[in-house]
Amino acid sequence: MDVAYVLYPNMTALDLVGPFEVLGCVPVVSPRFVARTLDPVRSDNGLTVVPTDTFDTLKSADVVVVPGSGHWREVLRESAELVAWLREVHPTTKWTTSVCTGSTLLAEAGVVTKATTHWAAREDLTVRGVEACTDRVVFDGKVVTGAGVSAGIDMALQLVEREFGTAVAQTVQVGIEYDPQPPHAYDSIPPEVTQNLRSLFAASQS
């Protein structure tokens, strides 16, 4: 099973690496890394990934994984080639997936009708005619979207279960010791934290 991970400047590394590690635990999965050119691609926090394929050379994939970015509106403005590739490759896939704001690129390509994304980017789905959901993982036909950043692991585990069965998904989950125990419950975090983040995100888009 070929899995094409989409690369572009300022992508969020965990959006890519989370699903890559989960899916990579399944022996039949072969990763590909596709970008506009074969030049190394730098993530928003500095991780650099070397593509194996370009949008011109890779025309089909069993699975496509589109990471998001904290600079998603800038990415949307500069993503014409990526979006065109998504439209072209989507009919060939068994699963087209995204993590975090990667779903806004699927929305821009017109290949999804219902999706989740990072909480700060839901309006960017709705303005593109996509039903924005608050669930951590959303299946919309063969399109699977994960919410913000860390949800890429959940998305990939659910995809493994759909494709290979519960026992394989459980094996992968135990193998990567995925048992989240964050220091703060979501409902205990003060609202000003979210507001401060909104301001930071807004500043990053300008």
Separation of alpha carbons 8 and 4, rounded Å: 13
Supply the CATH number for residue 39's domain: 3.40.50.880
Active site residue 100: yes
- Domain assignment present for 73: yes
**Catalytic one among 23, 65, 89, 100?**
100
- Print the domain residue range for 30: 2-180
pLDDT in tens, 149-184: 999 999 999 999 999 999 999 999 999 999 999 999
- Domain assignment present for 196: no
Domain count, the chain: 1
Alpha helices (H) along the chain: 13-24, 72-77, 80-89, 102-109, 122-126, 151-164, 166-175, 191-205
Q: What is the pTM of this model?
A: 0.95
- Domain assignment present for 24: yes
pLDDT in tens, 90-142: 999 999 999 999 999 999 999 999 999 999 999 999 999 999 999 999 999 99
